[in-house]
Amino acid sequence: MVSVAEITPVDHSAPGRIARALSMLRRHRVFAAAFGVGAVLRLITMLGYGPAMWFNDSYEYVSVALHPRPHPIRPDGYSTWLMLLKPFHSFSLVIFTQHLMGLATACLIYALLRIKFRLPKWGATLAAAPVLFDAYQIQLEQMVMSDTLFMLLVVGVITMVLWKRRLTWQAGAVVGLLLAMTWLTRSIGLPVLALVVLYLLVKRAGWRTVTALITACAIPVMAYMGWFASAYGKFAMTNSDGLILYMRTAIFADCNKMDIDKYKEVQLLLLCINDPVNQRKDYAQWYLWGQGNGDGTGTGEVLHRWGINKKWSEITNDAASAFATKAILSQPGDYLQVVARDFFRSFHWSRPRFPDESTYNMYEFKPYVPLDENGQPKRLPRWSSYAGGRTDTDAFSYEQGPPETRIVHPWADIMSGYQKVFYLRGIMLGGILLIGLYGVVVRWRKFGGAVVLPWLGAVGLLLAPAATAEFDYRYVLPAVPLACVAAAITLRRGVTWARRSPKSSGASGSTTVPA
């Protein structure tokens, strides 16, 4: 008699999938619990501040989504995302996807640190905690702004690059596409590209990988620049880089020290500010967005000397770039002083009201409906958009209903109270960066090892706005995940490794992941 063993069929049914999901949750219950709390906080935010919260830049993103064209000030990557969601006519859906992006960023951090670098579950969860719980992170996700998408893309790039010791050319192409999306979402994506390419070259990733990465990044970026050239006659991403750098230098630029040739550089003389340096505004944004004093002196009226409709033209941008370059070269000490001052604004214990009260309040959960000067509920501003149309009517058209933020109690009260306590203090971020710096220094023989990429990325995201524009609180948040990853990789030896002799390590069969 021959007996035949019965093969047990694999259960692919829904209950089987549910069982596997529950098993995974049990294995990662610490992170699952933190993830769940983060999700609940985001749900409360959506209930209290629907359909969305607004920033000054938000309206232009919406206008470009409705009237597609290259924007002269910022790339259209985020507007493209809004365009994809436009058929649903729901800012609530837009915000929901952004909250998912925030949660996905936390998952990437946890997966990278837990699977690749073997941190304990609580350690990987702790590194993801600022993204999950920081009230200002959640508030930024609730705004119609590009920063959450940018943060997810940057963390995605860093995760892919660090995941394998050597990237294949196919993986390099995927990283290149992600870098292109990053660059098209915010212009600061260009330094991220340069950092990743330099890291791969130092790590000897191979010419195939680097070439595939650069090519995959260049194709969509070049296509966008060609589209921009068809609209503005200039092969570029924006017409604003020179104007923004001019804004950075306007608070210290002294034409008496710049040696401007009044016969050959008349266009630069038009950009000189009449106000004495010691009487100027202490924040740079005024010199790009301000409306002046009404008496023709300095401040925001300077750029209007070129013509009220030529502020964002190529000729104005080029002249502003030349002026800013001359100011930096003529007054390098003054330039470094303002850059250092803005860089260290990121590390205060509290959050100073900078650059002004109005901008500061846009980052706050307020438990009351904002009122206008007549005591009526504040409506969206009625500005003409660069893409065509008007900001308030474009927002109404996108939503197919009132787009203004609706304050709903008690949910708004919960998040307003939560924000007063639960956020990452600037001095804490400074401490996290110092831990990462230690990790880079002790790995100097390996050029910083795996720590150097996220650490330089975090520092670069903080330094670049200070050097080219001005400090803003929303520029700090995308740097936090990278700083946490760098610190976690630095600390993992002290957390997960005991010092053993080579013999005992080999006998135990344990393996380690180089950092």
Burial class of residue 237 in the structure, from the number of CB atoms within 10 Å of its CB (0-12 exposed, 13-18 middle, 19+ buried): buried
The pLDDT score that the predictor gives to residue 352 is 85
| C-alpha–C-alpha distance, residues 135 and 149, integer Å | 17
Of the candidates 67, 5, 208, 114, the one whose C-alpha atom is nearest the C-alpha of residue 485 is 114
242 Cβ neighbours under 8 A, 6+ residues apart: 317, 318, 319, 320, 321, 322, 324
The pLDDT score that the predictor gives to residue 7 is 52
Whether omega before 410 lies within 30 degrees of 0, making that bond cis, reads yes
The pLDDT score that the predictor gives to residue 13 is 58
CB 205 within 8 A of CB 166: yes
Burial class of residue 52 in the structure, from the number of CB atoms within 10 Å of its CB (0-12 exposed, 13-18 middle, 19+ buried): buried
| C-alpha–C-alpha distance, residues 38 and 132, integer Å | 5
Number of residues written out for the chain: 515
Of the candidates 261, 246, 260, the one whose C-alpha atom is nearest the C-alpha of residue 324 is 246
| C-alpha–C-alpha distance, residues 138 and 423, integer Å | 10
13 Cβ neighbours under 8 A, 6+ residues apart: none
The pLDDT score that the predictor gives to residue 510 is 38
Which residues pair with residue 143 across a beta bridge?
A: 53
Please report how many Cα atoms fall inside a 13 Å half-sphere around the Cα of residue 51, on the Cβ side: 16
| C-alpha–C-alpha distance, residues 74 and 81, integer Å | 14
The pLDDT score that the predictor gives to residue 276 is 82
The pLDDT score that the predictor gives to residue 375 is 65
122: phi then psi, degrees, rounded to nearest 5: -70, -35
Of the candidates 323, 345, 350, the one whose C-alpha atom is nearest the C-alpha of residue 252 is 323
What is the full per-residue pLDDT of the chain (515 aa) written as tens digits? 444 445 555 455 556 778 887 777 788 889 999 999 999 999 999 999 999 999 999 999 999 999 999 999 999 999 999 999 999 999 999 999 999 999 999 999 999 999 999 999 999 999 999 999 999 999 999 999 999 999 999 999 999 999 988 899 999 999 999 999 999 999 999 999 999 999 999 998 889 999 999 999 999 999 999 999 999 989 999 989 999 999 999 999 998 899 888 777 888 888 888 778 877 888 888 888 876 554 444 445 677 666 656 777 888 889 899 999 999 999 999 999 999 999 999 999 988 888 888 889 999 998 887 776 766 677 888 888 887 788 889 999 999 999 999 999 999 999 999 999 999 999 999 999 999 999 999 998 888 899 999 999 999 999 999 999 999 999 999 999 999 999 999 998 654 444 444 444 443 343 445 56
What DSSP assignment string belongs to 324-375?
HHHHHHH-HHHHHHHHHHHHGGGG-SS----S-HHHHHTTS--SS--B-TTS
The pLDDT score that the predictor gives to residue 178 is 97
Task: Give the chain's count of helices (H) and strands (E).
Answer: 24, 2
| C-alpha–C-alpha distance, residues 324 and 255, integer Å | 11
Q: Delimit the domains of the chain by residue range.
A: 21-61+80-144+358-368+389-422, 150-235, 241-344, 347-351+425-493
The pLDDT score that the predictor gives to residue 304 is 67
The pLDDT score that the predictor gives to residue 299 is 47
250 Cβ neighbours under 8 A, 6+ residues apart: 273, 280, 284, 287, 302
Q: What single letter denotes the amino acid at residue 316?
A: T
